Amino acid sequence: MSSAQNSHIKTRKFVIITALGCVLETYDFLIYALMAPYLSSVFFPDEAQVEGLLLTFATFSAGYLVRPLGGVLFGHHGDRRGRKKPFAWTLLLMASSTAVMGCLPGYHNIGIAAPVLLLMLRLLQGVSMGGESGGAFTYIREILPKQCYAGCGCIVLGMFAGLTLGYLVHAGLLLLMSIDTMTDFGWRIPFWIGGLLGVIGFVIRTRFQETLSFTQLQRQGGIVTVPLAALFQHHRVEVVCGVLCIALNSTTTILINVFWPTYLETVFTESRQWLSLVGGVVLFLAGLFSVGVGFIADRIGIRKVFIYAVIIEFLLMFPVFYLPAQSEQWLAPAFILGAILTGVVSIAGPGMLLQLFPAAVRYTGIGFTYNTGFAIFGGCAPLVATWLIQKTDVLWSPVVLLIAVACIGCLVLYLTRDRHTMEAGVINNDGFIS
């Protein structure tokens, strides 16, 4: 077998392993949202249904608010000492905090300490996820310099597959348990599963190799002392553009794939099992669609894909939210439209980030901007959407948020009008050290 074939096989193997790690990390991080109706009853039992769900989503949002901290902490280590180790340790941190979350006693057992501990563990999950996303996109950017957007699609597929796994686990438990049993102890099982899978993922990732891009940076003496300081000193415009790029992706993905199905479970209570099953399958299809969009981006450029994403956002946002508000029979068509929309925007946002930062601050740059965008826009989206529905009594009112981020997408296109091509890479063939 030729060296070129060996290189291709090795690269493909590490892309698959990276994507599988994203499956586990995303499952652990987002299973909280899927269990929100049960967590609301266990940790906020004295509140009315909507108010309890609001508090549960507030804790969910807190995990997003600390994600930039995770991006900076793990990014600093990744830009200073290599991509490999911090990329592995993110999984172990996520696995341990998720498993402990499944062991927490409820409000009736330890009082106010229960939601406080839940919040603390959620913050640890957020720090871990912040390091994971920056590491995954940096790793793919450096091992697949000529097909980085297709690789980005594989990462997105992994993230969606993690959420799909969560939906399927939820649907399976609902087949075996009643709602009362789920509220009593069944909600703990998905957290324990996530903890176990995360430990397995950590062991696999410890076998990763360092990227050639970072090794060359070391040899050239290009390592910076404080990556975050260098980022804001030399790349302030890129930081702003990066955060705004993720507004479209984060808000759309979280509202359509996390908030909306979860909230609809409180409206169509008899269809909870069906919502979980169909939601999971459609999400996986959206991930496959993202891979295809990534291959297209490698051919036509990520900027054109971002333009199409903004257009599709304006076209599909209203039916995705309006149709289910009219009748339960429109749930499936709305989910399919949501999958198409999600598949496009999930490549457009992260794909734009891959061209913004040089290797010396890449892990920190991608980690900070990606997670800040998610913290500001995606993390707060469920909270604001729940508040909008509560205040307006209009089920499709969260579409206002999608209109806002679509307009932000237009602003991004204006700010990046002179950035048509990805920066020239320093890797010719294999992205790993030999």
| Residue pair 331/114 in contact by the 8 Å Cβ criterion | no
Query: What is the number of other CB atoms lying within 10 angstroms of the CB of residue 178?
Result: 10
3-state secondary structure of 211: strand
As a 3-state breakdown, the chain gives helix, strand, coil percent values, each rounded to 5, of 85, 0, 15
Mean pLDDT of 292-296: 93
The reported pLDDT for the residue numbered 368 is 94
> For residue 138, what are its two tokens?
């940096």
pLDDT at 112: 82
Q: How many Cα atoms within 13 Å fall on the side-chain side of residue 106?
A: 15
Average pLDDT score over the chain: 82
Residues in the chain: 434
Which has the higher per-residue pLDDT, 128 or 84? 128
Per the model's pLDDT, the better-predicted residue between 427 and 4 turns out to be 4
Q: Are 6 and 426 in contact (CB under 8 A)?
A: no
Rounded alpha-carbon distances, angstroms, from residue 141 to 82, 204, 423, 431 = 14, 20, 11, 9
The DSSP letter of residue 421 is S
Average pLDDT value for residue range 414-428: 53
Q: Do residues 350 and 370 lie in contact, with contact meaning Cβ atoms separated by under 8 Å?
A: yes
11-26 core/surface letters (b: 16 or more CB in 10 A; e: else): beebbebbbbbbbbbb
4-13, 289-298, 388-397, range with greatest mean pLDDT = 289-298
Tell me the pLDDT band of 421, cut-offs 50, 70 and 90.
very low
The C-alpha atoms of residue 434 and residue 428 are separated, in whole angstroms, by: 13
Q: Domains of the chain, with CATH numbers? A: 3-415 (1.20.1250.20)
Over residues 171-210, the pLDDT tens digits come to: 888 888 888 888 888 999 999 998 988 888 888 777 777 7
Torsion of CA 118, 120, 121, 123, to 10 degrees: 120
